[in-house]
């Protein structure tokens, strides 16, 4: 949505009202999906300035402009973030970035909401993709498009299917950062032993069930899929079906959930059938549990994020050969694809203008081909810059992990439309929890497919409409 910028005092008043009204709607949701969780440069100028560069913001080495960057990347991925920051800081004398880990996406967002409008928050904040509606409605950000237009930044150098999620009414509000999508992981060794072609993973729902039937023997289950709302969203998109009304919330505010329609019932009838047929093992909501079972050779197929690939391959080692396939779709489904998951970077508008501009300089650096190559190899996320795939580091990594080609091909073959751009609603984290509860009720036999989805659709719709009243 294009909205004119208001005065700082008005922004602060709006933010305060929003925080009071919206806090109840934002509930816990695991980072980057349930899974932890995508290449020329990006600018008309050299984003990796020389060490002697002073830029145009007026800073210098003795008194550089400080940019505070709040993020939710822990462990080894957090170390990759620190590397990007250190490389940028070495390249500039006028700007210094401080990266601060703030815990999970939800924890970071909660801290940011507290700091909004006070001038005590970060310059840049990483927010998960399902927080996009809230971030726009908060009026607390400077749309990334402002910097892009002022700098004549060439967005064609970035991946269209990644930009699509974060673009609204022709404006890019944030810069994609860590990006993934779901793929099918399968045990090639078990496929061979079951008489299946290890080079041709199942592509449709019926093919997945048939393969699972052949693979289920000797204490091994054919499959195990985590009860995870992100997967439900993806299985709508792969059918080319929207998750909420009004163009998936992209042609106006979403007003109702579409969970109980044909797309949802098709997914859950298939899922329930495989459970009831005892060819798929239910391990609950945790993708960590399905991943552990897969790595141990106890299940032959799982769904997980592309960002999990390196960890899975390294953990499996030589015990079996890991294969990857596209996210399965219903038989006959067309015009679909996957939605990117992960998070993006927002610049907060309560920081001084020169600080915001300095933040933009850092973001340009991060999306350069060289830095995206490093980020991809050391995090497992997609490069968002096309030319990164031409970097030697990425080529070497692709040789070491050829399974990642599946992820790249799936991203590029996804047709960009409102379904694959992803749904947008202000209560998305809570909606995911409601969907997961419905999935559990179906799988455990507490409710029929129709009843569970109808109840969940009604509850989500009511919460969407309550949220909309706070921002319209």
Asked if residue 22 and residue 134 are part of one domain, the reply reads yes
Domain around 129: 8-179+340-390
289-302: per-residue pLDDT in tens?
A: 999 999 999 999 99
Is position 410 within any domain? no
Question: Confidence class of residue 233 from pLDDT cuts 50, 70 and 90?
Answer: very high
Express as a percent the part of the chain with pLDDT over 70.
Answer: 87
343 to 30, 74, 132, 283: CA distances (angstroms): 12, 14, 9, 27
Domain count, the chain: 2
Asked if residue 196 and residue 134 are part of one domain, the reply reads no
Asked if residue 372 and residue 309 are part of one domain, the reply reads no
Asked if residue 314 and residue 264 are part of one domain, the reply reads yes
Asked if residue 352 and residue 306 are part of one domain, the reply reads no
- Give me the pLDDT at residue 41, please: 26
The CATH number for 100's domain is: 3.40.190.10
Is position 402 within any domain? no
Is position 40 within any domain? yes
68-117: per-residue pLDDT in tens?
A: 999 999 999 999 999 999 999 999 999 999 999 999 999 999 998 888 87
14-49: per-residue pLDDT in tens?
A: 443 344 344 443 333 333 334 333 222 222 223 333
325-334: per-residue pLDDT in tens?
A: 999 999 989 8
3-state secondary structure the chain: CCCCCCCHHHHHHHHHHHHHHHHHHCCCCCCCCCCCCCCCCCCCCCCCCCCCCCCCCCCCCCCCEEEEEEECCCHHHHHHHHHHHHHHHHHCCCEEEEEEECCCHHHHHHHHHHHCCCCCCCCEEEEEHHHHHHHHHCCCEECHHHHHHHHCCCHHHECHHHHHHHEECCEECCEEEEEECEEEEEEHHHHHHCCCCCCCCCCEHHHHHHHHHHHCECCEECECCCCCHHHHHHHHHCCCCCCEHHHHHCCCCCCCECCCCHHHHHHHHHHHHHHHCCCECCCCCCHHHHHHHHHCCCECEEEEEHHHHHHHHHHHCCCCCEEEECCCECCCCCCCCCCCEEEEEEEECCCCHHHHHHHHHHHHHHCCHHHHHHHHHHHCCCCCEHHHHHCHHHHHHHHHCCCHHHHHHHHHHCCCCHHHHCCCCCCHHHHHHHHHHHHHHHHCCCCCHHHHHHHHHHHHHHHHHHHHHHHC
361-386: per-residue pLDDT in tens?
A: 999 999 999 999 999 999 999 999 99
State the pTM of this model: 0.86
Q: Mean pLDDT over residues 418-445, rounded?
A: 97
Taking alpha carbons only, the member of 141, 181, 219 closest to residue 384 is: 181
Is position 401 within any domain? no
Is position 407 within any domain? no
Asked if residue 348 and residue 306 are part of one domain, the reply reads no
Asked if residue 328 and residue 355 are part of one domain, the reply reads no
Is position 260 within any domain? yes
Cα distance between residue 346 and residue 176, in whole Å = 9
- Give me the pLDDT at residue 24, please: 40
Asked if residue 328 and residue 270 are part of one domain, the reply reads yes
- Token pair recorded at residue 167: 């673009």
Check: CB of residue 336 under 8 Å from CB of residue 420: yes
Check: CB of residue 84 under 8 Å from CB of residue 379: no
- Give me the pLDDT at residue 60, please: 63
118 to 39, 115, 140, 332, 399: CA distances (angstroms): 37, 6, 11, 53, 49
Asked if residue 313 and residue 370 are part of one domain, the reply reads no
Asked if residue 249 and residue 100 are part of one domain, the reply reads no
Asked if residue 119 and residue 50 are part of one domain, the reply reads yes
Is position 268 within any domain? yes
- Give me the pLDDT at residue 224, please: 98
Is position 59 within any domain? yes
Asked if residue 436 and residue 447 are part of one domain, the reply reads yes
At which of 390, 411, 430 does a domain end? Answer: 390
343-363: per-residue pLDDT in tens?
A: 999 999 999 999 999 999 999
């Amino acid at each position: 949505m294009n909205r004119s910028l208001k005065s700082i005092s008005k922004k602060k008043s709006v933010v305060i009202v929003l925080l009071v009204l919206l806090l109840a709607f934002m509930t816990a949701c695991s980072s980057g999906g349930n899974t932890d969780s995508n290449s020329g440069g990006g600018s008309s100028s050299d984003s990796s300035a020389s060490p002697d560069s002073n830029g145009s913001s007026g800073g210098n080495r003795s008194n550089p402009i400080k940019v505070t960057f709040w993020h939710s990347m822990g462990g080894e991925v957090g170390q990759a973030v620190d590397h990007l920051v250190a490389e940028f800081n070495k390249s500039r004398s006028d700007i210094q970035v401080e990266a601060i880990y703030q815990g999970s996406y939800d924890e970071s967002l909660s801290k940011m909401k507290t700091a909004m409008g006070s001038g005590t928050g970060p310059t840049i904040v990483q927010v998960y993709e399902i927080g996009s509606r809230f971030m726009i409605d908060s009026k607390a950000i400077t749309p990334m498009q402002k910097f892009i237009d002022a700098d004549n930044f060439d967005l064609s150098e970035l991946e269209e299917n990644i930009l699509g999620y974060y673009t609204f009414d022709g404006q890019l509000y944030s810069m994609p950062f860590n990006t993934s999508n779901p793929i099918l992981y399968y045990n090639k060794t078990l496929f061979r032993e079951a008489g299946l072609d290890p080079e041709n993973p199942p592509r449709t729902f019926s093919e997945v069930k048939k393969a699972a039937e052949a693979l289920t023997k000797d204490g091994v289950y054919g499959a195990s899929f985590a009860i995870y709302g992100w997967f439900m969203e993806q299985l709508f998109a792969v059918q080319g079906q929207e998750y909420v009304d009004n163009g998936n919330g992209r042609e106006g505010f979403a007003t109702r959930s579409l969970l109980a329609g044909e797309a949802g019932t098709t997914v859950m009838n298939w899922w329930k059938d495989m459970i009831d047929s005892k060819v798929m093992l239910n391990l609950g909501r945790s993708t960590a549990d399905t991943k552990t079972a897969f790595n141990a050779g106890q299940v032959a197929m799982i769904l997980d994020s592309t960002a999990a690939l390196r960890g899975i391959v390294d953990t499996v080692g030589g015990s079996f050969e890991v294969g990857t396939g596209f996210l399965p779709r219903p038989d006959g489904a067309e015009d679909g694809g996957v939605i990117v998951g992960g998070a993006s970077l927002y610049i907060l508008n309560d920081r001084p203008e020169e600080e915001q501009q300095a933040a933009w300089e850092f973001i340009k650096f991060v999306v350069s081909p060289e830095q995206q190559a490093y980020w991809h190899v050391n995090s497992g996320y997609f490069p968002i810059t096309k030319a990164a795939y031409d970097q030697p580091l990425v080529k070497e990594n692709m040789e070491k992990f050829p399974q990642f080609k599946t992820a790249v091909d799936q991203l590029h073959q996804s047709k960009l439309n409102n379904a694959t751009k992803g749904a947008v609603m202000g209560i998305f984290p809570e909606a995911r929890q409601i969907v997961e509860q419905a999935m559990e009720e179906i799988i455990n036999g507490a409710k029929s497919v129709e009843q569970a989805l109808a109840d969940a659709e009604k509850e989500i719709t009511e919460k969407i409409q309550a949220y909309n009243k706070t921002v319209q």
